[in-house]
Amino acid sequence: MIFDAPEPDPRAFVREYRENYVNLYELWTAIAAPPDHVELTTPYQTPITEKDLPPELLRLVREYRREHRDPILSFIKHIRIEDGRPVRVVEDQQGLPGEDEFMSVSRTYTLNTSDVSRVVTEIYVARIKRARSDSGG
């Protein structure tokens, strides 16, 4: 069977991500405290560097770097979600980077048996600053 998947639309993905984004730091520091099961810190308290990325996500970032000229990446957000519940959030009051400065890298692991279902997702968000004019490639 041949399956022809449509080409992804990166800009549409970024727009949808931005439309659905909720800043949990702002929510929990302005409205209510974070749930007991959540570790909430800021990027100042818990800096996020490229070397902190899991190996498979670091490979994706390195591929991006090879295909784009001199991007400067500043990782500003990280969330770990276990079974639909955030358990670790690193962010502050700053919103998401602009559409042309936005990068996210993520991974999801699942375990399913007849009596257990586990889903773990980690998302990292970076701001891209291009050192030179860059249209990709």
Q: For residue range 97-129, what is the model confidence (pLDDT) as tens digits? A: 999 999 999 999 999 999 999 999 999 999 999
Domain count, the chain: 1
Of 51, 44, 99, which Cα lies nearest the Cα of 76?
Answer: 44
- Residue 135 placed within a domain: no
- Residue 54 placed within a domain: yes
- List the structure tokens of 25: 């730091």
- Residue 5 placed within a domain: no
pLDDT of 29 > 70? The answer is yes
Q: Answer whether 0.75 is exceeded by the pTM.
A: yes
As a whole number, the mean pLDDT across the chain is 92
What is the band of 137 on the pLDDT scale with cuts at 50, 70, 90?
very low
- Residue 4 placed within a domain: no
What is the distance between the alpha carbons of residues 97 and 103, in angstroms, rounded to a whole number?
Answer: 8
pLDDT of 136 > 90? The answer is no
Per the rule left: phi > 0, alpha: psi between -120 and 50, beta: everything else, 100 is alpha
- Residue 84 placed within a domain: yes
What is the band of 53 on the pLDDT scale with cuts at 50, 70, 90?
very high
Q: Give residue 14's domain range.
A: 10-130
Which pLDDT score, from 0 to 100, does residue 20 have?
95
- Residue 3 placed within a domain: no
What is the band of 2 on the pLDDT scale with cuts at 50, 70, 90?
low
Which pLDDT score, from 0 to 100, does residue 94 have?
94
Tell me the sheet residues that pair with 75.
126
- Residue 86 placed within a domain: yes
